[in-house]
Amino acid sequence: MKPTALLRTASVLTLIHSVMHTVGGVFGKPAPGAAETVALAMQANRFLFMGAMRTFWEFHRGLGLSVTIFLTAEAIVFWQLGSLAKTDAARLRPILATFMVGYIAFAVDSYLYFFLLPVFFELAIALCLGLAMVSAGKGAHEQAG
């Protein structure tokens, strides 16, 4: 498979990951019972932090939205890299390697602290990036030869 197609696949998977994270993680309602009780406690207790009154719920929401923003930005970057790969894929290999290692670390973090569904997406994205990196290298050898 060509690097462009693999990067476009990574882009779409990342955008799906972003949407699912936003709908389920950031704006999803906590389950009744213990999760709901914890969420209410996080919302009820305000404290001064670096000059601003905040709750742990606001930190939770803000960090969740930060992940959404970064996932969406990465989806756009992967699409753009797919366009660049049409003309000079080999030069993208260090960038792809960086994102691939980042997504593997993201998958480990999700496995340790969250749940399995995001792990599958993150590993699929890492696989697309790794395959794009390998196929970009093959293209460079073919052009040189």
145 occurs within a structural domain: no
- State which H helix or E strand residue 111 sits in: helix 93-113
Please check the confidence at residue 145 and state whether its pLDDT lies above 80. Answer: no
Please check the confidence at residue 94 and state whether its pLDDT lies above 80. Answer: yes
Beta strands (DSSP E) in the chain are 46-49, 52-55
Comparison of pLDDT for 58 and 137, the residue scoring more: 58
66 occurs within a structural domain: yes
Please check the confidence at residue 76 and state whether its pLDDT lies above 90. Answer: yes
144 occurs within a structural domain: no
Full-model pTM: 0.91
Please check the confidence at residue 23 and state whether its pLDDT lies above 70. Answer: yes
125 occurs within a structural domain: yes
Neighbours of 69 (CB within 10 A): 12
Residue 137: pLDDT band (50, 70, 90) is confident
Query: Residue 117 sits in which domain range?
Result: 3-139
Question: What pLDDT is stored for residue 140 in this prediction?
Answer: 55
Please check the confidence at residue 95 and state whether its pLDDT lies above 60. Answer: yes
Q: How many domains does the chain have?
A: 1
